[in-house]
Amino acid sequence: MGILTWTYIIVGITFAIYIGIAIWSRAGSTKEFYVAGGGVSPLANGLATAADWMSAASFISMAGLISFMGYDGSVYLMGWTGGYVLLALLLAPYLRKFGKFTVPDFVGDRYYSKTARLVAVICAIFISFTYVAGQMRGVGIVFSRFLEVEIETGVIIGMIIVLFYSVLGGMKGITYTQVAQFCVLIIAYMVPAIFISIMLVGTPIPQIGLGSELTDGSGYLLDRLDGLLTELGFGAYTSGSKAKIDVFFITAALMVGTAGLPHVIVRFFTVPRVKDARRSAGFALLFIAILYTTAPAVGAFGMYNMLSTTSNQPIASMPQWVENWQKTGLIGVNDKNADGIIQYVQDAERNELMIDKDIMVLANPEIARLPNWVVALVAAGGLAAALSTAAGLLLVISSAISHDLLKKSVMTGISEKQELVAARVAATAAVVIAGYFGINPPGFVAEVVAFAFGLAAASFFPVIIMGIFSTRMNKEGAIWGMITGLLFTIGYILYFKFINPAANVPENWIFRISPEGIGTLGMLLNFVVCTVVSRFTPPPPLHIQELVEDIRIPRGAGEAVHH
């Protein structure tokens, strides 16, 4: 059977499972819609968190970035993995103790202010839309190649699917759908990685294969990659070209941005107890590590196979995978010197092969000539990764509007049934807007997602951390800190990415920090502003200070036991 037939079969089966789960677990109350009724087991929540966490950026784009950036691509690995640890250990248990559904809910109650809640709602919506645009773009890429439709059509199909199970099931439907999606995406990621590892280096463990000797006896994989790329005028695969300060700031932005991501934080409210929140965080880290330790190998395998099958090859005998992807417009071949041979070189004026970074993982099985069913399986995995995260983000947007904006701020008298209707209407509107950004994305998938992390770092992280660990932090500090961090970071990204992209070079950046890393500086500004403003304005009410102490140190902890 051909790739198209296999894709219809495998994607059709997985979609039927997701929709079946959504119907079976549809939400009947706001508690089920927002936090799945609070009764999810730690293992199921760990699987769902891992699926929520591993978005199209992790599945589709991260190994593609590593393929083309080599050593420099490791910032995404370090930032996203380290960020999850930070979130699981430092924030999740305390927020779970506080017992609020959403980040704006925490901010509004902790900072005893409707204005603070409103600023947090705006931040949550802005971050979630930036992030979900990347997911929709990923969905469009998968559909455009494997179902042979336009990217725009692919995005619309994805919108309809994600709308169905997120609007119907809420967090309850999404949680159990994400358990299935994790199983699909991890199998889809590992099967081709294991096959290609066996073919290239003779070991079924990709993590070991990355540092192994090639089976054709031409040397070690990474040495060969270094040699191939330096011959073509690129930097060595295993050496970095980014400034150390930029590497640090991007990694930090991704880490602390993770800790402020609303759709991941809310997952820790779906389990019955604080202890279960910690256990599910441990399970999720284990499941995330499987993909994240494999990604560098997938990136290296993809780059090696791509160079071997295209560079300095006759255009007349281009491999089939290039032809397949040319139809999507994500690969371009332009014989600039009319010699009939493809030159893939560093010099943009002479480079004759244009490759979208987002296709490397999806194209990998085709490049390695794996069976058609493996190619289709990867398509299903990419969709599972993108749709699982998109659903979580849409829920954040809908709950921010219905729960935090309407119920807690604007229309405080609405019933639970009206709130549920508002949440579903908000989710529908969010899907339409997200679809527009998926069709007209502001960058490739991982880049768009990196901006979302930067915005989360600059706006949410300081107010959450100070809200948990500082009794002196007050509403004025939180409000001005969030506004400062968000506006500074948005302004920097907009200037270099949209207003004046020609100036987007290290010489023009503040302290040579790229737009992907500027969220860290935004976060530092937020910390400074909220600390200074809090010092010069009245302290929080006594009951808020006691609440903070109680969340951090439960009453009676550490007291001597008298017999």
Query: Which pLDDT does position 186 carry in this prediction?
Result: 92
Radius of gyration, CA atoms only, the chain: 24
Instruction: Give which of 297, 376, 339 is closest to 6, Cα–Cα.
Output: 376
Residue partners of 267: CB distance under 8 A and separation at least 6? 45, 48, 49, 52, 280, 392
Query: Which pLDDT does position 442 carry in this prediction?
Result: 62
CATH superfamily of 3-552: Sodium/glucose cotransporter (1.20.1730.10)
Q: At residue 181, what is the residue type?
A: Q
pTM above 0.75, yes or no: yes
Query: Which pLDDT does position 445 carry in this prediction?
Result: 60
Q: At residue 372, what is the residue type?
A: N
Query: Which pLDDT does position 26 carry in this prediction?
Result: 65
Query: Which pLDDT does position 180 carry in this prediction?
Result: 86
Residue 352: Cβ within 10 Å count: 19
> d(Cα 560, Cα 552) in Å, to the nearest integer?
19
Query: Which pLDDT does position 38 carry in this prediction?
Result: 59
Mark the ranges of the chain whose per-residue pLDDT is less than 70. 25-39, 100-101, 165-173, 260-262, 442-447, 553-563
Long-range contacts of 212-221 (CB under 8 A, 24+ apart): 221/300, 221/301, 221/304
Instruction: Give which of 454, 526, 531 is closest to 489, Cα–Cα.
Output: 454
Query: Which pLDDT does position 443 carry in this prediction?
Result: 60
Query: Which pLDDT does position 556 carry in this prediction?
Result: 44
- At residue 506, φ and ψ (nearest 5 deg) are -50, -35
